[in-house]
């Protein structure tokens, strides 16, 4: 059975898609830990990130770095957190989180009911920052 992330990648479930390339996608988390919290997910459905090839794992990190730089420019947090937990969905995903404290990496602090208009504004601001930085894998609309 396909994971929820595979269904998002296939367009079967709506998302706030930020980035698409041949290896991975990035979209905003529906239960954000902070404004602009994004996930970077390989197209290849692999449960454990340690089972990914090194090239794929490196590419995911490179995309997370790119997304993190955009988050830094849009939200001006103290740090950009990067985490691979893997317990929520059996499909590797990197959490890229603008943060001002370690508490923002605690999933018990996730917002289960975020303002949808704010999510759309965050998406557009991040897309604009990525476009401005010259990245061609930015999703303009989905």
Q: Read off the pLDDT of residues 89-121 as tens digits, 9 standing for 90 and up.
A: 999 999 999 999 999 999 999 999 999 999 999
Host H or E run for residue 99: strand 94-99
Domain map (residue ranges) of the chain: 4-132
**Considering just the CA atoms, what is the radius of gyration of the chain in Å?**
14
- Say which residue the tokens 């709506």 belong to: 14
Residue 135, phi then psi, degrees to nearest 5: -85, 130
Which pTM value belongs to this model?
0.96
Residue 112, CA atoms < 13 Å, CB-side half-sphere: 1
**For 45-90, how does the pLDDT look when each residue is reduced to its tens digit (9 = 90+)?**
999 999 999 999 999 999 999 999 999 999 999 999 999 998 989 9
Structure tokens at 71: 């988050």
Which DSSP state fits 86?
-
Indicate the CATH number for domain 4-132.
Answer: 3.30.428.10
**For 38-48, how does the pLDDT look when each residue is reduced to its tens digit (9 = 90+)?**
999 999 999 99
Which DSSP state fits 79?
E
């Amino acid at each position: 059975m396909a994971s929820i992330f595979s269904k998002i990648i296939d367009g079967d479930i709506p998302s706030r898609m930020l980035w698409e390339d041949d290896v991975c996608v990035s979209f905003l988390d529906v239960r954000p830990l902070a404004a602009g919290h994004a996930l970077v997910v390989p197209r290849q459905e692999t449960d454990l990130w340690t089972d990914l090839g090194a090239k794929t794992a490196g590419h995911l990190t490179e995309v997370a770095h790119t997304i993190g730089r955009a988050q830094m420019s849009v939200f001006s947090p103290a740090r950009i957190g990067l985490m691979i937990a893997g317990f929520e969905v059996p499909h590797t995903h990197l959490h890229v989180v603008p943060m001002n404290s370690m508490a923002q990496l605690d999933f018990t602090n996730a917002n289960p009911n975020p303002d949808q208009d704010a999510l759309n504004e965050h998406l557009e601001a991040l897309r604009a920052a990525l476009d401005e930085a010259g990245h061609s894998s930015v999703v303009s609309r989905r």
